Amino acid sequence: MQIALFGMSADPPHRGHGRVLRWLARHFDHVAVWAADNPYKQHQCPLRDRQAMLKLMIQDLPVPPGRIALYEELSHRHSLVSAQQARERWPQAELTLIVGADLVEQLPHWYKAAELFQLANILVMPRPGYRPSDQALAAIRQQGGQVAIAETLKTFEVSSSYYRQTEDAQALPTAVRAYINQRNLYPCTASSKEKQAIS
């Protein structure tokens, strides 16, 4: 069994994540997803809300039932710990850690990266504006990593920071948008401003 491991900040989850997940659902037997606190970032919204938004996004994806699932218990700031927990849960599976192209340069410097590479292969999602350098790919391989690029995946230019900066609700799945509006999660978004004006 081939399992994709996809941890993310999801602050908030957006349509680019949805595109990646649909592609993963076609190429893996199972896709395990979680929201995590990235040790290199500050987050705008609490982890429990990011987990909840991811769950809502996954529910609406047009994929076979059960192919993609949220595993809150895999959440950890260090991917090594998430991968260790996944290995305990699926002792026989081939594990593949999913990362966007923007993370490849930093990946060799992640917490105990060589140990992580022993537990999981690395599959890189192309992302507009980011091209993994040969040096970064070589640095992963030098630490024993098996790394490949998902060449057939066509992603598009959208990010959580784009949403946070532009307030462009089109960047988000409908259910995520509704969740944010209900809880006023990103206080600078247009919808929140509208709600403040009404109240």
Ligand X SMILES: O=C(O)c1ccc[n+]([C@@H]2O[C@H](COP(=O)([O-])O)[C@@H](O)[C@H]2O)c1
Ligand Y SMILES: Nc1ncnc2c1ncn2[C@@H]1O[C@H](COP(=O)(O)OP(=O)(O)OP(=O)(O)O)[C@@H](O)[C@H]1O
Q: Which residues lie near ligand Y (CB under 6 A)?
A: 8-11, 16-17, 20, 99-100, 102-103, 125, 127, 155, 158-161
Tokens of residue 112, six digits: 């105990």
Cβ-based nearer residue to ligand X, 39 or 144: 39
Cβ-based nearer residue to ligand Y, 125 or 139: 125
| Phi, psi dihedrals of residue 123, rounded to the nearest 5° | -125, 125
89 binds, options ligand Y, ligand X, none, Cβ within 5 to 8 A by partner type: none
What are the angstrom distances between the C-alpha of 191 and each of 7, 20, 163?
Answer: 28, 26, 12
4 binds, options ligand X, ligand Y, none, Cβ within 5 to 8 A by partner type: none
Minimum distance, C-beta of residue 183 to ligand X, in the bound complex (Å): 21
Cβ-based nearer residue to ligand X, 41 or 48: 41
Minimum distance, C-beta of residue 194 to ligand X, in the bound complex (Å): 28
**Residue ranges binding ligand X (CB under 6 A):** 7-9, 36, 38-41, 77-80, 103, 110-111
**Gap between the Cα atoms of 181 and 159, Å rounded:** 19
18 binds, options ligand X, ligand Y, none, Cβ within 5 to 8 A by partner type: none
Minimum distance, C-beta of residue 65 to ligand X, in the bound complex (Å): 25
140 binds, options ligand X, ligand Y, none, Cβ within 5 to 8 A by partner type: none
**Gap between the Cα atoms of 6 and 57, Å rounded:** 14
Minimum distance, C-beta of residue 111 to ligand X, in the bound complex (Å): 4
Cβ-based nearer residue to ligand Y, 34 or 85: 34
Minimum distance, C-beta of residue 102 to ligand Y, in the bound complex (Å): 5
